[in-house]
Copies of this chain bind each other. A is one copy, B any other.
């Protein structure tokens, strides 16, 4: 008896989910849903159908968990509450400031449908959030820091591409090693934005474009670049494709704290990720939590959950006895 999974939305994340399901023997891909013409969407599994999203309710009794792979800006705020009425769902909603509002809407819908819904699953929010929570609970007298990178920021790459004269671009967020080392040493400095990360951009300009002007527009762009030290390289399209086509990412959550009767001892907890593929790793986290959602639903749980609410054992295909014996 395998867990029957449906995927809604087939971009990088949806493809990552498809690959991840393949690595988990207790899971089975049942269907992929798309807003596009299904005939135009080619997936990796030869024997699994692609359907239009309008047909999804026909699968209500054929799917145990529906994994929503849309974007946080406009897709998930609508899709997750809508689908939580009829399915056990999981999403990777990552607009941190809007998580409380998203939670409330999804919780109401999931309760109405008697379903479990997991939101904001991935690595940040997700595994990084977990590490912030565990570390702050264990070392209450301390301070934590999250660093991202080295990795590709899709939002910043897009912002550069919107500049006139830019053909294509890739932006890397890079944590500043001196800041990392200060935190690792047990110090608890206050950093400016500029002191924590730098931004490195690889830009393909149109023939005859004013490169100095493009560079200036990037470096002074509010919110995206103005508060950072930014390095801009102009390269050819061939070079961009050859050396910058991957989607690596990663980062660090570090908390240091004091213990002892007079705070005489210092401890440093560090969690880090080094990822070749941001969407595939995000997908791997989501698939493990899809298993948890399935188990919780089977036990009668109802409503919206986050990584904070889910017992770790639920993520694993192993039994509690096996986990205690092999991993504790």
Contact = CB atoms under 8 A, between A and B. Distances in A.
A322 to B, nearest CB: 10
A328 B277 CA distance: 22
The residue among A100, A277, A284 with the most chain B CB atoms within 10 A of its own CB is A284
Given A260-B280, A275-B267, A138 B309 contact: no
A136 B19 contact: no
Contact of A134 (B276, B312, B321): B312
Interface in A261-293: 261, 265-277, 280-281, 283-285, 288, 291
A116 B317 CA distance: 25
Interface stretch (A2-10, A56-64, A82-90, A125-133): A125-133
Interface in A127-162: 127, 129-134, 136-141
Contacts of A131: 271
A308 B320 contact: yes
A41 to B, nearest CB: 16
Interface in A211-265: 257, 259-261, 265
Nearest to A44: B261
State the main secondary structure of chain A at its contact with B. Answer: helix
A270 B272 contact: yes
Give the copy number.
Answer: 2
Interface string A283-311: 11100100100000000000000111111
Contact of A140 (B24, B276, B310): B24
A194 interface: no
Contacts of A132: 327
A136 B133 CA distance: 20
Nearest to A275: B267
A177 interface: no
Interface residues of A, number: 71
Contact of A281 (B267, B272, B313): B267
A74 interface: no
Given A321-B100, A328-B96, A276 B284 contact: no
Given A133-B315, A137-B315, A269-B273, 16 more contacts: A23-B141, A96-B328, A100-B321, A100-B324, A131-B271, A132-B327, A133-B312, A133-B323, A138-B288, A259-B276, A259-B280, A265-B277, A267-B273, A267-B276, A267-B284, A268-B274
